[in-house]
Structure 1
Amino acid sequence: MATLAWRRSVGLAFLAGALILFVPDQARAADVPVPPENLLSDRGRGDISDADRDFVIKVRLAGLWEIPAGEMAQDKSNSARIKKIGRSIADQHEELDLLTRNAAKKLDIALPNEPNKDQQGWLAEMEESQGPEFDDVYIDRLRAAHGKIFPAIATIRASTRNDTVRKLAQQANQFVMTHMTLLESSGIVDYAGLPTAPPPGAATAQAQARVVPAAEESSTSGTNVPLILAALGGGLAAGVVATRQLVGNRRSAYRSRRTRYYAD
């Protein structure tokens, strides 16, 4: 009996090992990398564009309304999950706001001290709601806002020339992805109500249009167009003449060979 029990234990252990090997998605989670911030410099070096300044201001504005919104969730929501989401997002925005103010000070960017008109309207909606109604407003407004700033952060992260803005964009990206995940964990996000992505063709055309240098655009515009058309016309005429000559020569050679053939 002991030998039989031992054999069964070994068999179960072997089966468990096989499952780990042949069902990796369930047994072993993939290691998702987190970008190391210590590899980025933060010395305020590099040109700052208007888009960079607008980005820093928008990150500040996000905290100015999402922090009080998270505070309201503690009083107006009846859901322990919504309260926890609101608490986490508010606390994390306080950390992100500190990073933003430090970056703005280094780059001499003036920051607002109150939410903009749209954000004040969203806070007013939350003030007027309670319970499940508050939950819907809170989740919908924050998820939509994070969805709008998410691609904007990616654009700045990929294009900025300034190292401080680059690092802030990377940090903000991590916060926004975390917040979107927290909001979606509520289970009440109205995905059908979110904006859809532009068609691939339209997005590609817009990207290609942005890549064309201004000098290249100017070289094919204005008074240069007639010169280009004239050159194309001249090339076409020369090609026609050359083709006719080639065809004529071939016909003459063919007739000569044919005459000699019949003469023989």
Structure 2
Amino acid sequence: MRFSRNATGTLFVGGALSFTLAALAYPSMLGLNTVSSDTSRVIANTQWGPLTEGDRDFVVKVRAAGLWEYPVGLLGEKKGQSQAVITASQHLVDGHSALDTTDRKVAQMLNITIPNLPSPQQQGFVNTLTADTGKQFDTDFANILRITHGSIFNTVAKIRSTTQNTLVRALADQANDTVLDHITVMEKTGLVDFGTVLFQETTPPKLPAVDLTPPPPVAGQPEVVLTPPPNATSTPVNIDGLTGASSGTGTGTGTGAGTGTGTGTGTGTNTGAGTQTTAVNVTPGATPTAG
């Protein structure tokens, strides 16, 4: 595994690539900036419960994580030197495609703008693994992804235990299962340096916000979709069933159409964004291009 130190002696993984996802801020989303450290500040009251700074930030983080881990999974399926690394790569593709489907649905319903590209730091991870060859790829793959998943694991738990928003809670449930699965398969590679992983998780260097922040999507740009593998075993959360959006209240078929229309208009402000969704091919180590 490659290490380097900067002038202050801070240890970096894979050529000055460290992970501080917990510090990620996403300014200008919804026209607001993240204020101080008060993640509990309510920024919107929705029919599914209050939405806080922390809730919104979490939805963006989940999206950004998938935008780099999914391509890395595709990369690992091709470049992995061991079956354990190939299996872990398959878990990344499978898990993040399902998690991203849930995340995009939740973001749409809560009117949260989500990125189409990962942060510069996350893209740096992709670049490092794209350049790696042979055994070095397997080692960097297992350690970088174990560090990143370990770092976000506590964030998922905090959101799950504190959010009052039903949609965010459901997303956190799925994220918890996905992240734990990915931590486990990385450890099963036998390549994780736990001493280094613990250091990186507990002593993250402070990087400029620009390195940690995914760029806002370009207006009119198709939304990137992480396509599930043909043999997918992970499934998105049934958000419509969770919220009763299908209007199946059992009040009688005679009023079903009427109540269905009423519900539709209630969420209609979000369907416009949904119509912009276009499948985009995501290739390892490259900027996503429309398919």
Same fold (TM over 0.5): yes
Q: Identify the match of residue 92 of structure 2 among 89, 93, 96.
A: 89
Equivalent residue, structure 1, for 2:147: 144
Looking at structure 2, the residues matched to 127 and 44 of structure 1 have their Cα atoms a distance apart, in angstroms, of 43
Give the TM-score of the pair, scaled to structure 1: 0.57
Is residue 75 from structure 1 mapped to residue 78 from structure 2 by the alignment? yes
Q: Structure 1: which 5+ runs fail to align?
A: 1-42, 199-264
The 1-side partners of 2:107 and 2:185 are apart by 27
Greater per-residue helix proportion: 1
Q: What pairs with 1:44-59 in structure 2 (closer than 5 Å)?
A: 45-59=48-62
CA distance in 2, matches of 1:175, 1:44: 27
Q: Secondary structure at the match of 2:55?
A: helix
Give the Cα separation in 1 of the matches to 2:82 and 2:47: 43
Counterparts of 1:81-120 in structure 2 under 5 Å?
81-120=84-123
- What is the rounded CA distance, in whole Å, between the counterparts of 2:136 and 2:145 in structure 1? 14
Q: Give, as a single letter, the amino acid of the residue that structure 2 aligns with 1:63.
A: G
Larger Rg: 1
Cross-structure match for 1:182? 185
Q: After superposition, what is the alpha-carbon deviation per residue over 1:74-124, rounded to whole angstroms, capped at 9, x for unaligned?
A: 222221221121012211110000010011111110000011011111111
In 2: Cα distance, 1:44 partner to 1:50 partner: 17
Note the C-alpha offset of 1:186: 0.4
**Structure 1 segments (4+ residues) deviating >4 Å:** none
For 1:122, give the aligned amino acid: F
Secondary structure at 1:188 match in 2: coil
Deviation at residue 44 of structure 1 after TM alignment: 5.1
Amino acid at match of 1:57: V
What letter matches 1:185 in structure 2?
A: K
One-letter amino acid matched to 1:99: T
Distance 2:105 2:114 in 1: 11
Distance in 2 (alpha carbons) for counterparts of 1:145 and 1:121: 13
1:164 to 143, 167, 191: 167
What residue is the counterpart of 1:153 in the other structure?
A: 156
Are the equivalent residues in 2 in contact too, given 1:44–1:163 (CA < 8 A)? no
- CA shift, 1:195, in A, is 3.0
Distance 1:44 1:82, change over 3 A: farther
More strand by share: 2
Gaps of 5+ in 2: 1-45, 203-291
Is 1:121 the counterpart of 2:108 in the alignment? no
Contact 1:44–1:106 (8 Å) recurs in 2: no
| In 2: Cα distance, 1:144 partner to 1:106 partner | 31
Letter matched to residue 148 of structure 1: S
Deviations along 1:161-215, one digit per CA (max 9) or x if unpaired, are 11111111111101111110111110111100023587xxxxxxxxxxxxxxxxx
- Quote how far apart the aligned CAs of 1:131 are: 1.5
Q: 1:44 to 1:77 in 2, by over 3 A?
A: farther
Aligned pair in 2 of structure 1 residues 44, 93: CA closer, same or farther (>3 Å)?
Answer: farther
Q: Distance in 1 between matches of 2:167 and 2:78?
A: 37
Tell me the SS of whatever aligns to 2:51: coil
Structure 1 counterpart of 2:93, which letter? A
SS in 1 for 2:113: coil
Q: What letter matches 2:123 in structure 1?
A: Q
**Hey, what's the Cα distance between the residues in 2 that align with 1:137 and 1:121?**
13
Show the counterpart of 2:275: none
Q: Which residue of 2 aligns with 1:217?
A: none
Q: Deviations over 1:20-69 (max 9, x none)?
A: xxxxxxxxxxxxxxxxxxxxxxx951110011000000000111001100
| 1-structure distance, mates of 2:47, 2:152 | 23
Paired letter, 2:78: D
